[in-house]
Structure 1
Amino acid sequence: MFRPLLVTALTAALMIASACASPIHASDAPATKAQGAALLHQSEAMSFGVFYYPEQWPREQWQRDLNSIAKLGFNFTHMAEFSWTYLEPEEGRFDFSWLDHAIDLADKAGLRVILGTPSAAPPSWMGEHYPEVYRVDEHGQRHEHGIRAEVSLSDAKYQAFVTRLVTAMAQHYGHDRRVWGWQVDNEPGSFADYSDSARSAFRRWLQKRYGSIDAMNAAWGGSFWSSRYTSFDQVLIPNATLAAEDKLSPHALLDLARFQADTTASFLDAQAAIIKKYAEPAQWVTTNYTNVSTATDPRRSHGLDFNTFTLYPVAGTNVLGGDSYAIGKPANLMEAAAYYRPITGTFGVMELQPGQVNWGGINPQPMPGAVGMWMWHAFASGASLLSTYRYRHPLRGSEMYHEGIVGTDGTTLSRTGREFVDTLHEIQSLEGKLDAKAKLPAKLAARYTGYLWSHDVFWDLEIQPQTTEWNSWSYRNGYTLAVKSTGAPMDFIAEGDDFSRYPFLIAPAYQMVSDALVQKWRRYVEQGGHLILTSRSGQKNALGHFHEGPWAAPILDLIGADVEGFDMLPPSAKAQASVAGQTHDWHRWADILAPRAGTEVLATYADHYYAGKAAATTRRLGKGTVTMIGVSTDDGELEREVVRSVYQRAGVAIEDLPKGVFIDWRGGYYFMVNYNPQPFGPALPAASTIVHGKAPLAPAQVLVWKEPSA
């Protein structure tokens, strides 16, 4: 059913020349601030590592384990991010002797060491003497010792303890050549905090942001329901559990999300600053976010050298049906790489699922090949390091069912551990063949797409979804999968980035827009860019308020259409929209569009009182185009077809890849991975050389090939 769009070499060349005739420059990937290998001081294109917890195992087994890690082919190991109780067993008394010994054994085995700061796991003495360091949840319950990440990042006492510990660690290991780099904290920023410390910090944050209480009242809509304040000291942390009948101010909730993200960023930056004060310049600092986190915003942090993330694709969800539950969520790694890569130009996967996990609703085994495919996908996406969590299968504790590289005997490779090690060597065998000077092929550069992303917009959508059918995360997944179906490289970018580097720019459900952003979009299009906007775009200003004027007023002249209204329907209702003679069910959202002169209708609604009205439109503006997709269909197929048509109308050759099949390129080689439960047969250019895998591409497998020079 799916096959790549076939074009002759001459036709492809003409299409590419046409697409690149404008001032848009996309002959290369966007410029980066640092190259991964140089920043990390590594000889390999991607380093491989594994988490090891010496404090959890008998000391007489450490040398055996670390030697085995090295013999398996790993480049580094990761220690200490949960070991505060051993590093500071009593308040103010530090003990680094055990960690010194473990690091020495790792070094003798030929392993580099990443040290984690254990700020997410404080020792019991802290909770005993200073219970205020723990966070308070939305029910007013203060949390306590016994689980990780239960602390209040706003608490001054806790901050002081973290500062003292990180200072001691940095002074001790900052000049230690065996320590390769640092990870501050662990999966930061997951939980809300309603403690007194957080409330005071929130008030200070608001005063700094707004300057006066009148300005805050104006932003929060204080004239509504008599919700205005006369002093910042009166402000409480918005708590939805206390809203019995009505909803809290969406503007207050948006500021709470911003405050929490800023608090996390400041917390990470403070640790990074301490380490850099005492450490050698060769030691770098990162943290490990959770995929594209919705609670934290990595762009708010300015002290880290680069970012890494955790990746656990198989945890019981079945996105594509069939056996896809055992292959993994198709969008997770693809989106995370596209998000973190452009921030500094370097990124890594700090925790990759090594096998079966313990924390999902259902915890199946990954399909044979899946773990290896994830590794190849990370490598193809440009990751500079990849680490798996963890080496040994735990024998006790809350992660007893979390698989490791070796099983419960501590020495025998698990099935997926063997797969990880085999893939590690396969990738290492290709690394030396990469051409670091190779330029992105013209056919890929012509498709390069920027995905405009804002945490503020995401938070605002989630605060006021308006329908239980709306899910901002899955909505985003639908559009990233549509873009990737064309075979386009893709970067998540921010409003301040250079749009002109991308021939195509998509901004799904970009609800909050400023006049400056709309003008930037217009200049981008007039100069030859192709902009795609979607349902819910342009409804609010940058404060999250509606515009005083027509619905979505700022973007109407840009899209060349009016928005007559919007609708959403219960699942029991029948609703369809049509494109290219095909009908598609929808219930989630529908912007009803009225095209102006010169605007073309691409899709229409098939029923209800707006039958025949436009569901998607496009128009030319200067040298480029603006496409508006007003409907959100149940399966996303209408949106996929319209997105693909934007590239085709621009004269750009594209692929026709099914959901979960992705193409990447690195160092002169093409990579294709298959998260889809069905095999896929790619049509490779004549004289292509397959260097790994085989076609057709089976589920959970990878294909690597080199194409002849143009």
Structure 2
Amino acid sequence: MPETTPRGLTRLAFGGDYNPEQWPESVWQEDVRLMREAGVTMVSVGIFSWALLEPSPGTYDFGWLDRLLDLLHVHGIRVDLGTPTVVPPVWFYRAHPEALPVTAEGVRYEFGSRAAICHSNADYRAAAATITTRLAERYGDHPALAMWHVHNEYGVPVSACYCDSCAAHFRRWLATTYGTVDAVNAAWGTAFWGQRYAGFEDINPPRLTPAAVNPGQALDYKRFADATMRENFRMERDILHRLSPGVPVTTNFMTALSQCDSVDYWAWGREVDLVTNDHYLITDGRRTHVNLAMAADLTRSVAGGAPWLLLEHSTSGVNWQPRNPAKAPGQMARNSLTHVARGSEGALFFQWRQSRRGAEKFHSAMVPHGGTDTRVWREVVELGASVEALGEIRGTRTEADVAVLWDWQSWWAQNLDWRPSVDHEARERADAFYEALYDRHLTVDFAHPEADVSRYPLVVVPALYLMTEAAGRNLTAYVENGGTLVVSYFSGIVDEHDAVHEGAYPGPLRDVLGLTVEEFSPLLPGERVRVTGPDGTELSADVWTEFVVPRGADTVLTYADGLAAGLPAVTRHRLGEGTAWYVSTRLGADGLGTLLGRASEDAQLAPRADLPRDVEVVRRTGESGTYLFAVNHTGSDAKVPLGVPGTELLTGDRAAGRLAVPAGAVRVVRLDG
């Protein structure tokens, strides 16, 4: 079995992307001195260095990398060594211009950025295998090597190419997946609009068409593009496993960022030895720490609950959003330690030293342009000491309370053309339900729809347009055996080929929810409806309504106006030993809070009213003990009930009763017993 922890790393990982090729070697000694001052334990090296390592075809220059790895080893700094296959050199593209990807509109990208790759191109695959082999042969047993880092952020910014090479590869993929072209015709429903294919040779990628492209074809092309990138990862991984045994291989995910929604991380999580993730705050006016917690929970879930590693985040502002504010004092530590609380085995940044040139010169770094006499540097050093103090938590696992179903392939299908409303976004509902659970101080695991969720008292389905029959049976059994299920609208609509399930909506959820939906009735921009209950409850909703027909379910809330006036808006169905709730409209934060409060009562999840809003409490447990993380995102001091006394690891103080957590601070208590 491959190793799943960085080789030779006995502490939590702390450091970042180190790109010394941007600087004269005279700076390197200063870098390693500062790394030791900051408590750096590991750096990522070589990710964008193909042009330096192979300056011309078949001519290699490893001297600078030899000197760098030896220097880092002497100073006790472990290395996450990249295969630089995300940016082939310009000489490669001169020889193989067809390796540049083509858009659905037929435009070929040019060299001059990053990740401009046709993953079906045979010349790219061969060149990537060669440089990976050379690196593994030279550094596979280097004493500084902790793990291998293949490529960089697969799917960003290009996942799919539509060139002729991809067309031929797509046909081969379809033949392997379906066996016959008749099976493809059946899956895609090509009888509609006369799209039937006589042979595989007739099929092309879903290029630009005058109206909506066949949705089954478009969905399968997304699967194909994802699988093709994964083929290339496996190729490099297998080379590294063979030539560098005992060293884990990873690639950096971007699990919760919409920029990388073209990747099915459930599948990718099974391919890496250690799940790693990059996370950057999206500063769009929302509570950024909630999205951060969500990303960490999702990454841990992709890792199957095992410890994972935050491989990139930012010390302060980034540079690629329309507006890039700096992080507030203390926010860097809060962000970093929140990831650790939710399962990361450390915190690394992009990047070590801020670049003077290039597209990311305004992206923050551990060593900013202003050097060591800066707030950022002082906070980096302080954070390094905190990470060092938490070393004993290595190998422990984060405890979760509830599960949220999440499926990238369902999102791919829902986001295709011609859906009932452009205002219904699967990601928006996922964010909204997660935030409502976060505000109830519940820690979330995410799960694939067909995964075993029997250990969770509450399972939430915020948006699952595509649902297999197996997933439907899974949720029905979950409720029958005593679970509490909450399902949001427009779930269970189509099967894995984007074909509507036979019979009334919502397909495989009809029985577990005890209802059918006769018709969707999306609302126009600005329209709202009221939903009311017999106890006087009145909530406001927008975007979506439905004509719901109870078939065993009880009506909890009713539409008070709109086309669905008088019909159920929220229902509750007892089935076997459990309960299933259905929400047929888009409730706001207050409405979701009310609903999840009632569902939590069914699930016998005790309320946590003694915890202030935006003070999160998470536990990690393992052989070394139980650790309570308290993260205060507010501007006021807070008190967190401990229950069991313990020792606060960042200060060394004893803690009992109610733990004091200063404004903007983090406290970590090893609980006694």
Residues 188/121 of structure 1: CA separation in 2 closer, same or farther (3 Å cut): same
Match among 177, 184, 187 for residue 143 of structure 2: 177
1:167 and 2:133 aligned: yes
1:449-469 deviation per Cα after TM superposition (whole angstroms, max 9, x unaligned): 222222211111111543231
In the alignment, structure 1 segments of 5+ residues that lack a partner are 1-32, 321-327
- Match for 1:458: what amino acid? W
Counterpart pick for 2:325 among 331, 346, 364: 364
Q: Does residue 613 of the first structure (1) align with residue 567 of the second (2)?
A: yes
Task: State the partner residue of 2:655.
Answer: none
Q: Where does residue 12 of structure 1 map in the other structure?
A: none
Residue of structure 1 in register with 2:584 after alignment: 630
2:248 aligned to which of 284, 288, 300? 284
Matched residue of 2:571: which SS? strand
Q: Distance in 2 between matches of 1:203 and 1:274?
A: 27
Alpha carbons of structure 1 residues 594 and 672: separation in structure 2 relative to 1, 3 Å: farther
- Alpha-carbon distance, 1:547 to partner: 2.4
Check 1:265–1:688 CA distance in 2 against 1; reply closer, same or farther (3 A cut).
same
Alpha carbons of structure 1 residues 617 and 699: separation in structure 2 relative to 1, 3 Å: farther
Q: Which residue in 2 is equivalent to 1:664?
A: 618
Aligned residue identity for 2:603: A
- SS of residue in 1 equivalent to 2:334: helix
Q: Superposition pairs for residues 274-673 of structure 1, below 5 Å?
A: 274-281=239-246, 283-292=247-256, 293-301=260-268, 302-313=270-281, 315-320=282-287, 328=288, 330-344=290-304, 345-408=306-369, 411-412=371-372, 414-432=374-392, 434=393, 448-464=401-417, 465-578=419-532, 581-597=536-552, 599-633=553-587, 635-656=588-609, 661-667=615-621, 668-673=626-631
Conserved in 1, the CA contact under 8 Å of 2:494 and 2:507? no
In the alignment, the residues of structure 2 paired with residue 672 and residue 622 of structure 1 have an alpha-carbon distance, to the nearest angstrom, of 38
Determine if contact 2:3/2:248 at 8 Å carries over to the other structure.
no
1:158 counterpart letter in structure 2: Y
Q: Among 105, 110, 122, which residue is 2:76 paired with?
A: 110
Give how far 1:342 is off.
Answer: 4.7
Paired residue for 1:218? Answer: 186
* 1:285 to partner: Cα distance: 0.5
User: Relative to structure 1, is the Cα distance of residues 493 and 231 closer, same or farther in structure 2, using a 3 angstrom cutoff?
Assistant: same
Cα deviation digits, residues 355-399 of structure 1 (max 9, x gap):
122111101111112111011101111112321111111111111
Going from structure 1 to structure 2, the CA distance change for 1:181 and 1:685 (only over 3 Å counts) comes to closer
TM-score in terms of structure 1 length: 0.86
Distance 2:391 2:497 in 1: 48
By how many angstroms is 1:683 displaced? 5.2
Shift of 1:81: 0.4
Give the aligned partner of residue 22 of structure 1. none
Counterpart of 1:266 in structure 2 is: 231
Amino acid at match of 1:412: T
Counterparts of 1:680 and 1:592 in 2: how far apart (Å)?
48
- Which residue is 1:194 aligned to? 162
8 A Cα contact 2:483 2:579, kept in partner? yes
Please give the root-mean-square deviation of Cα atoms over the aligned residues, in Å. Answer: 2.6
- The answer to whether the Cα contact below 8 Å between 2:140 and 2:243 also exists between their aligned partners in 1 is yes
> Quick one: distance in 1 between partners of 2:143 and 2:102?
41
Contact 1:173 1:179 in 2 (8 A): yes
Q: Which moved more, 1:507-516 or 1:151-160?
A: 507-516
- 2:26 paired with 1:60: yes
Q: Aligned pair in 2 of structure 1 residues 337, 41: CA closer, same or farther (>3 Å)?
A: farther
CA distance in 2, matches of 1:681, 1:198: 56
Does 2:220 correspond to 1:252? Answer: no
The separation in 1 between residues aligned to 2:28 and 2:154, in whole angstroms, is 29
Partner-residue secondary structure (3-state), 2:338:
helix
Q: Alignment partner of 1:500: what SS?
A: coil
Task: Tell me the CA shift for residue 236 of structure 1.
Answer: 1.7
Shift in CA distance, 499/649, structure 1 to aligned 2, threshold 3 Å: closer
Equivalent position of 2:108 in the other structure: 142
The superposition leaves residues 270-296 of structure 1 with CA deviations (integer Å, 9 ceiling, x where unpaired) of 110110010031x11111112334111
Q: Label 1:569 to 1:217 Cα distance change in 2 as closer, same or farther (>3 A).
A: same
**One-letter code aligned to 1:474:** E
**DSSP 3-state at the match of 1:399:** coil
**SS of equivalent residue, structure 1 residue 671:** strand
TM-score by structure 2 length? 0.91
Identity across matched positions, percent:
28
Aligned partner of 1:100 among 49, 60, 66: 66
- Native 8 Å contact 1:355 1:417 kept in 2: no
Query: Separation in 2 of the partners of 1:188 and 1:669?
Result: 34
**What is the rounded CA distance, in whole Å, between the counterparts of 1:708 and 1:607 in structure 2?**
56
In structure 1, what is the Cα distance between the partners aligned to 2:477 and 2:579?
Answer: 11
Structure 2 distance, partners of 1:592, 1:380, is 43
Deviation at 1:141, TM superposition (A): 2.1
Q: Closer, same or farther in 2 for the Cα pair 1:367/1:291, shift >3 Å? A: farther
Cα offset, 1:602, TM superposition: 2.4
Contact kept, 8 Å, 1:36 with 1:384, in 2: the verdict is no
Query: How do 1:227-246 and structure 2 match up within 5 A?
Result: 227-239=195-207, 242-244=208-210, 246=211
Supply the distance in 2 between the matched residues of 1:527 and 1:678 (Cα, whole angstroms): 44
| Residue 516 of structure 1: how far off its partner (Å) | 2.5
Q: Distance in 1 between matches of 2:590 and 2:4?
A: 37
After superposition, the Cα gap between the structure-2 partners of 1:341 and 1:573, relative to the gap in structure 1 and judged at 3 Å, is closer
Q: Deviations over 1:16-35 (max 9, x none)?
A: xxxxxxxxxxxxxxxxx999
Partner Cα separation in structure 2 for residue 56 and residue 117 of structure 1: 18
C-alpha distance in 2 between matches for 1:412 and 1:683 = 35
1:609 and 1:360 map into 2 onto residues whose CA distance is 40
- Partner Cα separation in structure 1 for residue 76 and residue 570 of structure 2: 58
Partner of 1:684: 641
Give, as a single letter, the amino acid of the residue that structure 2 aligns with 1:215: A
Q: 2:9 aligns with which of 10, 17, 42?
A: 42
- CA 391–413 in structure 1, closer or farther in 2 if over 3 Å, else same: farther
The DSSP-based 3-state class of the residue aligned with 2:454 is helix
Structure 1 distance, partners of 2:181, 2:196, is 9
* Preserved contact between residue 481 and residue 660 of structure 1 (Cα < 8 Å): no
Task: Report the secondary structure of 1:81's partner residue.
Answer: coil
Cα deviation 1:544-570 (Å, max 9, x = unaligned): 211232222432221112223222111
Verify the 8 A CA contact 2:354 2:368 in the aligned structure 1: yes
**Structure 2 CA distance, aligned partners of 1:334 and 1:511?**
21
CA shift for structure 1 position 95: 1.4
User: Counterparts of 1:203 and 1:197 in 2: how far apart (Å)?
Assistant: 10
List gaps (5 residues or longer) in structure 2: 652-657
Deviation at 1:699, TM superposition (A): 6.7
Question: Which residue matches 1:5?
Answer: none
Counterparts of 1:479 and 1:379, CA distance in 2: 23
Q: CA deviation at 1:41?
A: 4.7
SS in 1 for 2:51: helix
For 1:686 and 1:286, locate their aligned partners in 2 and report how far apart those are by CA, in whole Å: 39
2: distance between equivalents of 1:147 and 1:131?
15
Letter in 2 for 1:421: V
Any idea what SS the aligned residue of 1:330 has? helix
CA contact (8 A) 2:279 2:312 kept: yes
